[in-house]
Structure 1
Amino acid sequence: MNMRPRVLITRPGSRAMPLVRAIEALGAEVKPLEIMRQEPLVETQAMRNAWLDFDQFSKVVVVSPFAADCLAESLDRYWPQLPVGPHFYAVGRATAETLHERLAVRVRVPPPGPEDTSEALLSLPSLQALDEQKVLLVAGEGGRALLAETLETRGARLTRLALYRRVLTPPDETSARMLSRGDFTALVVSSGEILDHLAGWCTQAALNQPLIVSSQRLATLAGSLGFADLRVAQGATPNALAATVAEACDLDGADIDHDDLDKG
């Protein structure tokens, strides 16, 4: 009989793998819930205009690793050698790592703190007074408007491009049964959109199991949805999430490779 704790994770696509490895290193069984996929959008004239004029942007703000991948794919087609003018900003360390790997650029990230958030990125001194600077904001469809609204308020001539969309899907039969029965030890969620979607399949048994989230904002949302055992990780990196899983499941986290997992 398998006595290992079972941990459900919701991170979509290839980004799930570093988190899977981090939690498996604790001795837990990991079950990814395939309930969201990310799809690049067909290139529009607005996108083409931005790529052709990319050298005119003083700042490029990227909100997610998948947005960074989509940006790199597009720039590869238009700029065999990147212009030196734009300065790159990323909301989180995983996004910064993707930009550095794909484009070999220096990336500014939020100052050290408990969470990588839009609010933290906006605290950077170089984003305070933007006085008619051309700023490109690269994101997915929808999402929070805080970044765009704040950058415009601070004087930016903002271009916001949605390069991909998120598609939510029902959990498969096995996953739905686990959620119905509360048949897991912990659930890990780092997206408000996924959390809101997932709650529809969670019975009271599931709502009473430990929920690991990546920010206080998500914890507030989770509480409003009925989740009763909330654990807030120190950010959305695999290392931070796995450390909180270890606490919630009473596991030894000594085997985690911290240097490697912070890059996920």
Structure 2
Amino acid sequence: MTLPILICRPGARGKALEHDLSTAGYAVETLEAMTLDAVAENAAMRHHWLNVDQFHKIVVVSPFAAECLAESLDRYWPQLPTGIDYYSVGSATAEVLHQRLGVRVRLPPSAAGEDTSEALLTLASLQQLDHQRILLVAGETGRPLLADTLSARGATVTRLAVYRRTLLTPPPTLERRLRTGNFRALIATSGELLEHLAKWCHQAALNQPLIVSSRRLATLAKTLGFRDIEVASGATPAALLATLAQACPPCGTDVDQGISIHKG
């Protein structure tokens, strides 16, 4: 029986990753360990949406945050205000913003090699921020690095939590896979999820290949006890698939020639 690749990305991005891995020839199982839910709009949020033209920059931390932002701006701004610079931590978030809002989005420099908050903060336009008003669109929990650093550089930062993450206990069959290591590899792109799932990972699971999307996650994984850690060039399905293929070639692939073997 072919062992599955375990993925733990929630929502539509998880479905997209599952599709790409399956198309590449992998058996895939999704660890339903987190849900993403939009936060109900309150008076403070409405105030900021109505006055979004007062911000110089908008920084968006995830694709789901971008979806929530687009939904809100569509309600209040039939025509987007001009003069705002948009930033995103990763290319998937930028793609949502471009598709939904038609805006140009600034990304971490390609030389940084990763889609991370640290990489985004290296952009020249985010160094001197005196008298700049920045809207940070994010989830209810998360790292304070962006807000703290932008504030330290002189910006007035408003952080809007537009969605919440809810951690779930994996179903019994997948919990058992984590406990016994009965899988080919685990893919993780969230530190919060990785820490959550590590609670069920016993020795056998910690020895299985773990594909992560940044060096920061690799450092966290090492502290959690994972031993076979591979770092992808980013969190896109293509980047994760490329690293997975190196660590665990699809079944039926000739590793030396890279040619699928078909028995007739």
Question: TM-score under structure 1 normalisation?
Answer: 0.92
CA distance in 2, matches of 1:160, 1:8: 33
What pairs with 1:20-35 in structure 2 (closer than 5 Å)?
A: 20-35=18-33
1:138-172 CA deviation, whole Å, 9 max, x = no partner?
00012111100111111111111111110000001
In 2: Cα distance, 1:125 partner to 1:222 partner: 31
Structure 1 residue 26 displacement after superposition: 2.5
- Stretches (4+) displaced over 3 A: 251-255
Distance 1:151 1:44 in 2: 25
After the TM superposition, which residues 77-96 of structure 1 pair with which residues of structure 2 at under 5 Å, given as runs?
77-96=75-94
What's 1:184 paired with? 183
Q: Which residue of 2 aligns with 1:107?
A: 105
Query: What SS class does the counterpart of residue 199 from structure 2 fall into?
Result: helix
How is 1:241-252 mapped onto 2 (pairs within 5 angstroms)?
241-251=240-250
C-alpha displacement at 1:24, in angstroms? 1.7
Match of 1:46 among 44, 47, 62: 44
Q: Distance in 2 between matches of 1:247 and 1:23?
A: 13
Matches within 5 A, 1:154-233: 154-233=153-232
Aligned to 2:35: 37
Give the corresponding residue for 1:13: 11
Contact 1:88 1:106 in 2 (8 A): yes
Give CA deviations for 1:70-116 in whole Å, capped at 9, x if unaligned: 11111111111111121110000000000011111111111103211
Q: Which runs of 5+ in 2 are unaligned?
A: 260-264
SS of 2:71's partner is: helix
Partner SS for 1:39: strand
When structure 1 is superposed on structure 2, of 15-24 and 55-64 the one drifting more is 15-24
Structure 1 residue identity aligned to 2:40: V
Between 18-27 and 173-182, the greater mean CA deviation after superposition: 18-27
Q: CA offsets per residue over residues 116-150 of structure 1, 9 Å max, x none?
A: 11111111111111111111000001211110011
Higher relative contact order (CA 8 A, sep 6+): 1
1:238 is aligned to 2:216: no
The 8 Å contact of residues 178 and 184 in structure 1, kept in 2 or not, is answered as: yes
Worse-superposed segment, 241-250 or 90-99 = 241-250
CA distance in 2, matches of 1:173, 1:144: 30
TM-score between both structures, scaled by the size of structure 2: 0.92
Q: Which residue of 1 aligns with 2:115?
A: 116
Partner of residue 145, structure 2: 146
Q: Paired residue for 1:74, among 72, 75, 90?
A: 72
The two structures, once aligned, show a CA RMSD in angstroms of 1.5
Deviation at 1:25, TM superposition (A): 2.8
Match of 1:259 in 2: none
In the other structure, the counterpart of 1:132 is 131
Residues 183-192 or 20-29, more deviating: 20-29
